[in-house]
Amino acid sequence: MAADTRVVWMPGGVRTEIHLAAEDTEGAFCLIVDHPPAGWSLPAHRHRSEIDAAAALASATRHGWEFVTQP
């Protein structure tokens, strides 16, 4: 994590790292990394003026960590 990465806590105990904010990219995008607690799921929500894209790089299973190796 870069020294200037900001950490905020979201509802449900989700630790969120803000690596790039909108002001860093002239409003083009932001880059965040979420660290949700076990069993957490994203509640239904909508964005009125943003597009939401997400990628799971790893997921916890009963047997350990499973890493995504292909898009």
| 4-58 pLDDT, tens digit each | 899 999 989 999 999 999 899 998 999 999 988 888 888 888 888 888 888 777 6
DSSP letter, residue 16 = E
Question: pTM, whole model, 2 decimals?
Answer: 0.68
CA–CA dist 5, 60 (Å, integer)? 24
Range of 30's domain? 1-37
In a domain, 56, yes or no: no
Amino acid letter, residue 18 = I
Q: Is residue 62 in a domain? A: no
User: For the chain, how many structural domains are there in total?
Assistant: 1
Residue 67 C-alpha from the chain's centroid: 16
In a domain, 20, yes or no: yes
User: How many Å apart are CA 69 and CA 71, to the nearest integer?
Assistant: 7
Rounded CA-CA distance 6/32 in Å is 10
Q: Is residue 47 part of a domain?
A: no
Other beta carbons less than 10 A from residue 30's beta carbon: 14
